[in-house]
Amino acid sequence: MRQVADQTGGRMRVGPGTLYSSIRSLLEEKLIEEVDLREDVRLGPERRRYYRLTSAGRELARSEAERLADLLRAARVKKIFRGDHV
């Protein structure tokens, strides 16, 4: 959650409900998978759940990123951005 907020400069804030709802969808579509439970010594005895991308998930994420990159390229060609900061 914190990571999402940090990455978007606080514009996007995900709550636990939305987060786990999304996780559930991704699990159902087999885009992520849960890995074994283990304790994070840094966070004390609290139980955490960990997920990782499956190969299908990685593939989808890549294709989505490429789609966005293409979009960005097109935006640059059209000089939608001011300057070259993107």
Nearer to other proteins, 8 or 63 (CB): 8
Residue 27: count of CB within 10 angstroms of its CB = 16
CB of 47 to other proteins, least distance (A): 7
**Token pair of 6 as six digits:** 């940090």
* Residues lying near other proteins in the complex (CB under 8 A): 1-2, 13-21, 23-24, 46-49
Contacts of residue 40, Cβ cutoff 8 Å, sequence gap at least 6: 46, 48
Measured between its terminal Cα atoms, the distance across the chain in Å is: 25
Q: How far is the CB of 30 from other proteins (least distance, A)?
A: 16
Residue type, 8: T
Minimum CB–partner distance for residue 18 and other proteins (Å): 5
Nearer to other proteins, 22 or 63 (CB): 22
For other proteins, the closer CB: 48 or 79: 48
Backbone φ and ψ for 35, nearest 5 degrees, come out as -105, 170
